[in-house]
């Protein structure tokens, strides 16, 4: 029932803001076009006082946090979304309507066990920013003697947000099940796994203690770095629904005018964003996965060597060593236009079925990428490459990899942000040297020596047991022939039993069929005045067949 009510709300919001007018109707199948033309909401005029970007933003705000997150992602893709819509969707990044101050204070006091006046020397009633999951208030800690207290921000989760998110997730799960049930293409996209992965992600974001630990880990990873700075977390003031951290002062990364006013090196800024992404993914295997412009600032110091400042670490991603390796090799193969290698890696990694013919997949990838690579690399959007490759996936049953969904989203965010800062950003040439260096470090002699040093204590510990293990393995090999003969004999017996059971079932089926056929013939003979002997004979044969079984 809750899912049905939510579905009705989505439909109501869709019609209220006439979002159907944003659809590319001419590109839809004829059946869908007819449905849209006959839809009752077309009787309602498109709100003329609102632009299409405002209508989409207001609709996403009305539908709640999951839809707001979707709008945030769209706002970083000016190469895919019209400029007027991007401009309006940017307001979703930190300009969501706030909840009342008294609710924020009550939640802080319930979580920390003291009144706000006892916790902070100063506390701002007006939030600094309000987002889909939480809002942030400025505050100051109590000082120590003559030392003034540190400036901090207090992040508070929206009251009751868990219920809203759970309701939306249940609806998404229902839609995913329908997609799996009725669409073969939907099964290939693994929608249930994607929804479950998103469930884990967003519930992690609701727990501010998890966000605090993520921030602390990222801060440790980039300690002393001039690329990225993470604010300090004050753990004594941090609970599940409240987090207190250092207040940072920087320029919002989307404020290009202010960045240019302080003579920021925009090319270096865009390239450093790409370097930070690849460092987190391949060096640390721990990356900030919510890097939309509302969560990123630029330090006011050293504008020629600009440093990023990241906040809101509620969503992070990790990769296994196998995923890291296949991802790096795939990207390098893309950069080198080695389509056969791309196809082979997709098969080796299990992203397409093992039965896939590599040369056919390579030919399909070549047909997609060759026209794109005719352009200068600086004009190629990695996001557009992914979209083009997606169109080839249906032929080869390529499946969505849930563990890579966050990575793909983050890469699209980074590219969209980089092109906003520096439209000539060449993601390919920026990333390629880093990936080549990482591959050398991963598989070169030094890497082999490091792995040997890491594994040596384990090998030495197991060395005294090796003779016994080898002797046991050889003994088992000697008895392998006897074991295989016994298994073969059991398999033959099972086959004979199954054959006998099938034979008996067939006989019973014939017997029952004979009985029912004979009774039918008997009834027909009686009804039509014909001889009854035929029915009696067939019925008797059927009974006899059953008795013999």
How many domains in the chain? 4
**Structural domain contains residue 464:** no
pLDDT tens per residue across all 549 residues of the chain: 555 676 677 777 777 777 767 666 666 666 666 766 766 666 667 677 788 888 888 888 888 777 777 777 667 666 557 778 888 887 776 666 788 889 999 999 999 999 999 999 999 999 988 877 888 999 999 988 777 889 999 999 988 888 878 887 887 788 778 777 766 655 655 667 767 766 777 787 789 999 999 999 999 999 999 999 999 999 999 999 999 999 999 999 888 899 999 999 999 998 898 889 889 988 888 989 887 777 899 999 999 999 999 998 888 888 888 888 888 887 788 777 888 888 888 888 777 788 888 888 888 888 877 777 766 656 666 666 766 665 666 677 766 665 666 777 777 777 778 878 888 777 777 777 877 787 777 766 665 555 566 666 766 666 777 777 676 777 766 766 666 777 777 787 878 777 777 666 655 554 544 444 444 444 444 444 444 444 444 444 444 444 445
- Ranges assigned E (strand) in 103-148: 122-130, 134-140
In whole angstroms, give the CA distance from residue 100 to residue 97. Answer: 10
Beta carbons of 229 and 99 less than 8 angstroms apart: no
**Structural domain contains residue 288:** yes
Is residue 66 domain-shared with residue 123, that is, in the same domain?
no
pLDDT computed for residue 533 by the predictor: 47
**Structural domain contains residue 502:** yes
Domain that holds residue 387: 262-443
pLDDT computed for residue 295 by the predictor: 85
**Structural domain contains residue 332:** yes
Backbone Cα Rg of the chain: 33
pLDDT computed for residue 23 by the predictor: 65
Is residue 162 domain-shared with residue 250, that is, in the same domain?
yes
**Structural domain contains residue 469:** no
Determine the 3-state secondary structure of 404 from DSSP. Answer: helix
**Structural domain contains residue 198:** yes
**Structural domain contains residue 199:** yes
- Listed residues 243, 261, 279: the one ending a domain: 261
pLDDT computed for residue 519 by the predictor: 46
pLDDT computed for residue 404 by the predictor: 67
In whole angstroms, give the CA distance from residue 421 to residue 272. Answer: 11
How far from 486 is each of 472, 479, 481, 493, CA to CA, in Å?
21, 11, 9, 11
In whole angstroms, give the CA distance from residue 459 to residue 446. Answer: 19
pLDDT computed for residue 58 by the predictor: 86
- Listed residues 32, 64, 92: the one ending a domain: 92
Is residue 131 domain-shared with residue 150, that is, in the same domain?
yes
Is residue 381 domain-shared with residue 529, that is, in the same domain?
no
Is residue 236 domain-shared with residue 344, that is, in the same domain?
no
Question: CA quadruple 511, 515, 520, 521: dihedral positive or negative?
Answer: positive
Is residue 302 domain-shared with residue 271, that is, in the same domain?
yes
- Listed residues 217, 243, 261: the one ending a domain: 261
How far from 169 is each of 200, 202, 493, CA to CA, in Å?
11, 10, 51
| CB-neighbour burial class of residue 91 (10 A; exposed 0-12, middle 13-18, buried 19+) | middle
Is residue 294 domain-shared with residue 413, that is, in the same domain?
yes
Contacts of 515 (CB under 8 A, 6+ apart): 539, 542, 543, 546
Is residue 412 domain-shared with residue 486, that is, in the same domain?
no
Is residue 140 domain-shared with residue 206, that is, in the same domain?
yes
Is residue 131 domain-shared with residue 274, that is, in the same domain?
no
| Catalytic residue list | 290
**Structural domain contains residue 64:** yes
Is residue 132 domain-shared with residue 64, that is, in the same domain?
no
How far from 471 is each of 160, 461, 463, 475, CA to CA, in Å?
63, 18, 14, 6
Is residue 358 domain-shared with residue 428, that is, in the same domain?
yes
In the chain, the largest separation of any two C-alpha atoms, in whole Å, equals 120
* Phi, psi torsion values for 267, nearest 5 degrees: -65, -45
> Considering only CA atoms, which of 80, 95, 66 is closest in space to residue 6?
66
């Amino acid at each position: 029932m809750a899912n049905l009510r939510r579905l009705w709300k989505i439909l109501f919001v869709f019609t209220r803001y006439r979002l159907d007018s944003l659809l590319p109707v001419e590109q839809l199948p004829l059946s869908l076009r007819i449905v849209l033309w006959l839809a009752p909401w077309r009787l309602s005029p498109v709100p003329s006082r609102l632009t299409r970007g405002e209508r989409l933003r207001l609709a996403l705000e009305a539908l709640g946090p999951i839809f707001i997150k979707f709008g945030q992602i769209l706002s970083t893709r000016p190469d895919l979304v019209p400029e007027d819509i991007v401009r309006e969707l940017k307001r979703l990044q930190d300009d969501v309507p706030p909840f009342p101050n008294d609710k924020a204070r009550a939640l802080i006091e319930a979580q920390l066990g003291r009144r706000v006046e006892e916790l902070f020397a100063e506390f701002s009633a007006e939030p600094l920013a309000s987002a889909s999951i939480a809002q942030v208030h400025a505050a100051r800690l109590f000082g120590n003697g003559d030392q003034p207290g540190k400036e901090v921000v207090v992040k508070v989760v929206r009251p009751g947000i868990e219920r809203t998110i759970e309701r939306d997730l249940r609806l998404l799960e229902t839609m995913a099940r329908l997609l799996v049930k009725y669409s073969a293409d939907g099964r290939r996209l693994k929608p249930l796994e994607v929804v479950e992965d998103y469930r884990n992600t967003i519930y992690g974001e609701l727990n501010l203690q998890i966000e605090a630990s993520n921030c602390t880990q990222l801060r440790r990873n980039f300690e002393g770095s001039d690329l990225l700075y993470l604010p300090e977390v004050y753990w004594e003031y941090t609970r599940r629904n409240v987090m207190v951290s250092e207040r940072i002062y920087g320029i919002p990364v989307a404020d290009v005018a202010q960045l240019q006013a302080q003579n920021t090196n925009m090319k270096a800024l865009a390239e450093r964003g790409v370097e930070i992404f690849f460092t987190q993914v391949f060096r640390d295997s721990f990356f900030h996965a919510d890097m939309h412009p509302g969560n990123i600032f630029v330090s006011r110091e050293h504008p020629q060597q600009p440093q990023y400042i990241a906040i809101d670490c509620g969503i992070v991603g990790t990769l296994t060593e196998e995923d890291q390796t296949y991802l790096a090799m795939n990207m390098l193969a893309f950069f080198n236009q080695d389509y056969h290698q791309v196809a082979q890696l997709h098969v080796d990694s299990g992203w397409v079925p093992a039965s896939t013919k590599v040369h056919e997949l390579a030919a399909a990838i070549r047909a997609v990428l060759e026209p794109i690579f005719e352009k200068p690399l600086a004009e190629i959007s990695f996001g557009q490459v992914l979209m083009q490759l997606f169109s080839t996936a249906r032929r080869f049953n390529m499946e969505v990899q849930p563990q890579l969904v966050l990575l793909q989203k983050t890469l699209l965010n980074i590219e969209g942000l980089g092109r906003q800062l520096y439209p000539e950003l060449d993601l390919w040439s920026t990333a390629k040297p880093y990936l080549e260096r990482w591959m050398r470090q991963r598989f070169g002699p030094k890497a082999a020596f490091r792995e040997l040093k890491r594994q040596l204590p384990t090998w030495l510990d197991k060395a005294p047991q090796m003779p016994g293990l080898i002797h046991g393995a050889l003994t088992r090999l000697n008895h392998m022939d006897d074991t295989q003969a016994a298994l073969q004999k059991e398999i033959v017996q099972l086959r004979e039993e199954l054959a006998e059971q099938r034979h008996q079932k067939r006989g019973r089926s014939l017997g029952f069929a004979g009985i029912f056929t004979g009774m039918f013939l008997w009834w027909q003979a009686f009804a039509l005045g014909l001889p009854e002997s035929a029915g009696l004979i067939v019925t008797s044969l059927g009974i006899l067949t059953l008795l013999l079984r």
